Amino acid sequence: MKIQESAENYLETIHMLKKKNGNVRSIDVANELSFSKASVSIAMKNFREEGFITVDGDGYLNLTEKGLEIARRVYERHEILAKALMALGVDEETAYDDACKIEHHISDKSVQKIKEHFGQK
């Protein structure tokens, strides 16, 4: 399934914040991505309608299996690419920034070869 880069960023952010904080609300996503609350609210409405997230009675966002699958894939790519760049001598901040730009455009085949090169499965 191919979704837009911005959607991948939102889902990855929800996943990362959930791992870090336990619970995630729309305001947390807005703060993390430096987006307006209104923009995030519209995106979350669309994600609910498309079956990527659910929102509980307290306003906490939860990824569905469909949303979690995408978030995990993007997050894994981000981590693999950042670590590969750091192994090549790129500083951590630059490596993570660049990985964020690359993760949406690199092929599965290239990611697999990078993983193999660095001894990951």
For residue 84, give the CATH number of its domain. Answer: 1.10.60.10
In tens, the pLDDT along 92-101 reads 999 999 998 8
In tens, the pLDDT along 49-86 reads 999 999 999 999 999 999 999 999 999 999 999 999 99
26-33 vs 5-21: helix axis angle to the nearest 10?
110
Integer angstrom CA distances of residue 25 from 80, 94, 121: 27, 28, 33
> What average pLDDT is seen over the chain?
92
Please report the pLDDT score of residue 121 as a whole number.
64
Let me know if residue 119 belongs to a domain: no
- What band does 1 get if pLDDT is binned at 50, 70 and 90? very low
Check whether 45 has a pLDDT greater than 90. yes
Please report the pLDDT score of residue 2 as a whole number.
52
Query: Based on the structure, what is the number of domains in the chain?
Result: 2
Let me know if residue 120 belongs to a domain: no
Please report the pLDDT score of residue 6 as a whole number.
85
CA 98 to CA 50: how far, in whole Å?
Answer: 29
The overall pTM is greater than 0.95: no
Examine the domain organization and report whether 18 and 61 are in the same domain.
yes
